[in-house]
Amino acid sequence: MACSKPPADPLQLERGILTVSNQSAQNWTHVEIWLNRGYRVTAESIPAHTRFQVPLNSFVAGFGQRFDPGHMQVTDLRLSATLPDGQPLGLTKAFTASGLPGALGGKR
């Protein structure tokens, strides 16, 4: 009996790059990605079964400040988009807490 692999997290952070994987059969349009609730990147669409990659220093706050991954920690990551039928899509990355709460299974 083969073991199935759990689906990959659609929001992955690695080495200063965010990879968004649209593993669905639907195109996502009017995509907004928010980092730490103050920094944003947009994409017109992420087609079905594709990936979208963006460096973390491309995220910009309201007055033009860029996110600095060398000096700032990612604590919140959210994606919103529109599905072909007009329904909203929302994704939030779950982060594990560091330190003692993380060792005891806490989440941020």
Adjacent-strand bridge partners of 71: none
Q: Is the pLDDT of residue 3 over 80?
A: no
The answer to whether 55 touches 35, Cβ cutoff 8 Å, is no
Structure-model confidence comparison of residues 83 and 7, the more confident one: 83
Summarised one tens digit per residue, pLDDT across range 42-84 is 999 999 999 999 999 999 999 999 999 999 999 999 999 999 9
**How many secondary structure helices (H) and strands (E) does the chain include?**
1, 7
Q: Which helix (H) or strand (E) holds 103?
A: helix 99-103
- Inter-CA distances, 71 with 16, 66, 68, 99, Å: 12, 11, 6, 19
pTM of the model: 0.82
Which tokens in the block code for residue 45? Answer: 């669409």
Q: Read off the pLDDT of each residue in 102-107 and give the average, rounded to a whole number.
A: 50
